[in-house]
Chain A
Amino acid sequence: MAAKKLNIKDKYRLLTRDLDWEFSYQDRKDAFPFEEFEGIKITDWSKWEDPFRLTMDAYWKYQSEKEKKLYAIFDAFAQNNGQLNVSDPRYVNAIKLFLTAVTPLEYQAYQGYAHVGRQFGGIGARIASQMQAIDELRHVQTQIHAMSHYNKHFDGFQDWSHMHDRVWYLSVPKSFFEDARSAGPFEFLLAISFSFEYVLTNLLFVPFMSGAAHNGDMATVTFGFSAQSDEARHMTLGLEIIKFLLEQHEDNLPIVQKWIDKWFWRGTRLLSIVGMMMDYMLPNKVMSWKEAWEMYFEEAGGALFKDLARYGIRMPKYSEVIEKEKEHVSHQAWWIFYNFGHAAGFHTWIPSDEELDWLSEKYPDTFDKYYRPRWELAKKMEAEGKRFYSAGLPQLCQVCQVPMTFTEMDKDPGQISYREAMHQGERYHMCSDGCHDIFCDEPEKYAQAWLPVHQILQGNCGGPELEKVLSEYYRMNVGADNMDFKGSPDEQRWNQWKGMA
């Protein structure tokens, strides 16, 4: 006799509920050792509402259809020499940064969700995390495939996974995810599912992917929108976890609020890289970072926090600083890379006169006052044959690991913001009140930070000479992958292809 075919509802129940079992001879607490140490109180896991209402067979079907379309576009892009259709070869440097800084984060997200997918006592939360882990692994793969085509034609794509573990500026995204992954399971979900996915990935995947479209990069657009359709599901997980925690026990509120404060601050620091990609690295620009921030953080995020107010949640701490920083961070971040363009794995450049005017128009209150003079001096130095590469090594923030470049938003945006804390007789430096608070809350954690500059000076990165650090420890092709775009092999090849050599 043929087995009775299950309807979708039964399949879903079997997947999300009947995979759990009672522990008859082991203490359930021993099976889920990570569930309590953060102080989160769960009184009833059965109250968990599954945000991923998908059965496995429906999931495979949707994703395989998406994959087929995605790979058809990748093939067409490769066969039609899609690299020749980008707006300007400078654009490809944004993709180099994406491949080295963002794609490994997808892999870290996969590892993080696979881990927490084991750690919750509630089967619904375990299944949701496992399914997201599969999504994240797929994102890594499609991003690598989309960008691999550029590796045939441009410098800087050769060793991205090695670079992610070692290169100074990649410590910023790497440490962000390692901080989340080395926290407890609830903090991980709050950090990544809620703070990062719910509000901040919109800023990465929506306006940046529109930027890819504007610059003729159809492969990136395709993976971006394919990933974003998964992100919509991931955001519902983010929202579910926070509502679930707040409804379970009132004692969870202060812990959750502290995590929101921490992870929104860390997120804004991480996204300063995306800000500079939008304002400086897209030759055809879609919207300014400030406009994107207003649309996706202030409007969308503001509405979310209004919803959460009934649980007692307030806006992230230092929101008023974050609001002011939207005028500054993209310019400050690109200036770091212009300063250290000899130690980056991609090219940097002075914006064209038209781009400077666009920035003045988009940032009327700040650009001409604080940032245009930097480019005027840089242009003057370049004209004198002294393209400015900053000598020596920068001071880094102990928490976000960005060079200490951010300025005082309240008192004087022309003054670098220095914060300091002592812990067990050692001095530590942070870039802001936000990072300072994060350090002071868990100094034992951040005192362990692997700060690239300090590691170089300890001799742990292939010796004291910068060229050896770059070529042997980072595995960059010095002189091809780095330095100014002007005069680079990338530029020369492009000019040959376009008959401009």
Chain B
Amino acid sequence: MPVIALNKDYKGEVRDAKANFGGNILVYIGWDEHLLFCSAKTFLLPLTMRFGELQDTPLNEGFNQHPDFKHIDWASVQWILNGKPLSPSREHTLEQLGFDHKSLLRFRTPGLNGYKGTGV
């Protein structure tokens, strides 16, 4: 639907377009049932990054403040990319796994449901 504007064919600048991020993409990562973190977090990542590296570095740095983090059994983690289940291997690149600009990756850790099981 075209914008209702005084000037015909008005177009605005898309400030968050992929081209503005120097060849990288934005990826949001959220840990379900861990509301110690008030929201998902934003990361700037190359599409060539391997999933194992994403786990070891940005995800680790973003979420290791939670006391549950060191107890995560990575084999049982459930991944959801843009609303669909994802079964990544550490060797896959983000591109191979279907990540695109401003993708949302959520992860669930069954059995680890936050501080004393409260979802925090």
Contacts and interface: CB of A to CB of B under 8 A. Distances in A.
Does B bind A? yes
Contacts of A392: 41-43, 61-62
B119 A376 contact: no
Contacts of B10: 444
Q: Interface on chain B toward A: helix, strand, loop, or mixed SS? A: loop
Contacts of A396: 42
Nearest to B64: A391
Interface in A365-406: 369-370, 373-374, 376-378, 386, 388, 390-396, 403-405
A393 B15 contact: no
B102 A429 contact: yes
Given A339-B38, A426-B101, A373 B15 contact: no
A141 interface: no
Contacts of A426: 14, 16-18, 101-102
A460 B86 CA distance: 33
B13 A448 contact: yes
Nearest to A384: B67
A420 interface: yes
B26 A38 contact: no
Nearest to A372: B118
B65 interface: yes
Interface string A330-342: 0010011011100
Interface residues of A, number: 57
B40 interface: yes
B11 A444 contact: yes
A447 B10 CA distance: 13
Interface residues of B, number: 51
Interface string A406-440: 00000000111010100010111100000000000
B101 A427 contact: yes
Interface stretch (A193-201, A216-224, A233-241, A449-457): A449-457
Interface of B: 1-6, 10-18, 20-22, 26, 28, 30, 32-33, 35-44, 61-62, 65, 67, 82-83, 100-104, 106, 114-116, 118-120
Given A395-B28, A418-B30, A444-B12, 11 more contacts: A39-B4, A369-B118, A377-B120, A386-B65, A404-B28, A405-B39, A427-B82, A442-B3, A447-B14, A448-B13, A458-B20
* Shortest Cβ-Cβ A-B pairs, 9 listed: A448-B12, A373-B118, A444-B3, A403-B39, A414-B119, A395-B40, A427-B102, A377-B115, A395-B28
13 contacts: A335-B35, A340-B38, A374-B115, A376-B115, A390-B41, A390-B65, A416-B30, A418-B104, A424-B14, A427-B101, A427-B103, A447-B12, A459-B22
